Structure 1
């Protein structure tokens, strides 16, 4: 049976007492040693462990804690035991207590503050990127040989031609839904014929361009961010700068030209397909023949509605292209950033498109284009 740990206090008379331990400083033999050590009063100059038969990590920690509290030296250990003791001392690290939880109100204010700061920082960066894009356009305009014709034509195909199918299907279904819902509501007043007015005006003025912009933002804006972000990770953009090619002129300008040019055409195409979808439903459900539908559209839809949609479309296109390219240029670090920036590009573009659409609605209302 192992000897229980014990200690005695020996007064050295030259500057403090010595605490001499005997027995085993191991977990099985400690007993109430920590409690007995707490009762030791007075200054302790050193701790003598020369008569200790065995020591383990628990015993070493008990002695070290007591020595730290009394500011005493530990002496008398054999080399192997001294190494164990030194390892226990070296392993001591202060434990970081978890911070006191904040109140829900303070946490809410912190979240709002972080969101406002992030939004302001992003807006600042986006405005700077817009300025850089304008400078790149000016450089290309003053040096036409820098214009990348083939890259721009390729973007025309990717942004415009390849999107005709999905935009046409979406617009057709939207036209059907608008006509169906409008007919249900107007039937209560015996005014089903005004479904034609609803379909014609809302698609040409608002939904045709707006839904097309949202679709292009999700389809092409995300592609821009992912493509440029991947090029940033693979250091292709740095290589372009090294050989004297401006990434703004080579990557941003062709994409911006393509989206700004194609979005009015896609918006007009979307509005026409939506009108066809609405006309088909009016023919099937309201017994309004196509020729009557077309004549009514020509009578009730002013030309201003078409101009409103065509004026908004290039602005939406510029916002989508710049937001996608800007977020792609911000990628750095790892591949996870590509996905995060791609998502941010889509959300940012759609948000700005809707905000600008609201601004245009107020603006055209003020100048009388209602």
Structure 2
């Protein structure tokens, strides 16, 4: 092995037949700059017909081997290192390793220029495809929930009564204060605005009809459903999502139990039972709020308020509003549970799907309420 400490060089002997490239000196990181200039002068990589003489090669490290790979070509460097007996075993192994690595290396393609309009359309298309897949999964989950309900309805021994009562307390009883308070204040605001606008026409008495119509048909069920979409759907997603992240649902399946029967069905039934009751309380609270404003600002006594509601507002308006509650309750519960099952094994995923469940639930509730309003209007109800 050569012990030369001279700076490495690569000299091309064009007079020899065939032309020969003599590689001499130390090819190390310390001489990298001068070696790089020498290689640039030779216009690497060289023609394959040029013979290579590595007999004068001194010290060698990875930096020098990579320069030789650029000069000779990665494949050719590995072949020469394997065939040249004059090289020490360590240098042959280093040259072969670097040649293999350089041969397998490929530069990442340059960043392509994108069209802003094309990118926007692509993102819109991806979002629409995602929404479509979500709706397909939601329909499938609804079918699975109904199938589980039918299978367990005729088997009282498999009913989860304790879980059902606990969820009814969580979704119904605990939500009473916020639902009543919110609808009471909204009823007062609606009455105040109605009296202000109708005063210009001398028809402030119709503020009673405005409050009654709005809360019996729309506001009572809509505000309650939106509140539970934010309060209960998120809770269902977080509960089931945490169990999914902690592999508790896998443990339930390993025990031979059905997660749909154990986790989903009690929550859905609890929502079906409690949302209509909360809707009724919301309607009454809204009417009380509107009646209070009418009594304070319009001199309409509570008794007169009640008589006007009885004479002007039919029971069908109450039925129209309360009929939406079970539909909203079912969809809110199903969406919350489905998003919980979508959670992967991270806390970030729990947060993302909790947010998604709230957004989807509120969107579905408002969409269905708008469609129901159009349907009732066309039917004359």
Same fold, TM-score > 0.5, yes or no: yes
Q: 1:292 to 1:102 in 2, by over 3 A?
A: same
1:7 maps to which residue?
Answer: 11
**Could you tell me how far 1:342 is from its partner in structure 2?**
1.6
Question: Any idea what SS the aligned residue of 1:94 has?
Answer: coil
Distance, in Å, in 2 between the alignment partners of 1:227 and 1:32 is: 65
Question: Any idea what SS the aligned residue of 1:47 has?
Answer: strand
Contact 1:4–1:31 (CA<8 Å) still a contact in 2? no
The 5 A counterparts of 1:1-370 are: 3=7, 5-9=9-13, 13=17, 16-25=18-27, 26-30=31-35, 32-38=37-43, 42-55=47-60, 57-68=62-73, 71=76, 73=80, 77-78=87-88, 82=92, 85-86=95-96, 88-89=98-99, 91-92=101-102, 93-369=105-381
Aligned length: 367
CA deviation string 1:299-356 (max 9, x = no partner): 3322111001110001100111111111222223333322222222111111111121
| Structure 1 gap segments, 5+ residues each | none
Distance, in Å, in 2 between the alignment partners of 1:339 and 1:308 is: 36
CA RMSD, aligned part only? 2.6
**Could you tell me how far 1:91 is from its partner in structure 2?**
4.8
Q: 1:228 to 1:61 in 2, by over 3 A?
A: same
Distance, in Å, in 2 between the alignment partners of 1:258 and 1:236 is: 22
Distance, in Å, in 2 between the alignment partners of 1:311 and 1:70 is: 77
| Structure 2 gap segments, 5+ residues each | none
Superposition TM-score, scaled by structure 2 size: 0.87
Question: Any idea what SS the aligned residue of 2:73 has?
Answer: helix
Superposition TM-score, scaled by structure 1 size: 0.89
**Could you tell me how far 1:216 is from its partner in structure 2?**
0.7
Q: 1:208 to 1:61 in 2, by over 3 A?
A: same
Contact 1:24–1:30 (CA<8 Å) still a contact in 2? no
Question: Any idea what SS the aligned residue of 1:188 has?
Answer: helix
Q: 1:32 to 1:199 in 2, by over 3 A?
A: same
Distance, in Å, in 1 between the alignment partners of 2:110 and 2:298 is: 68
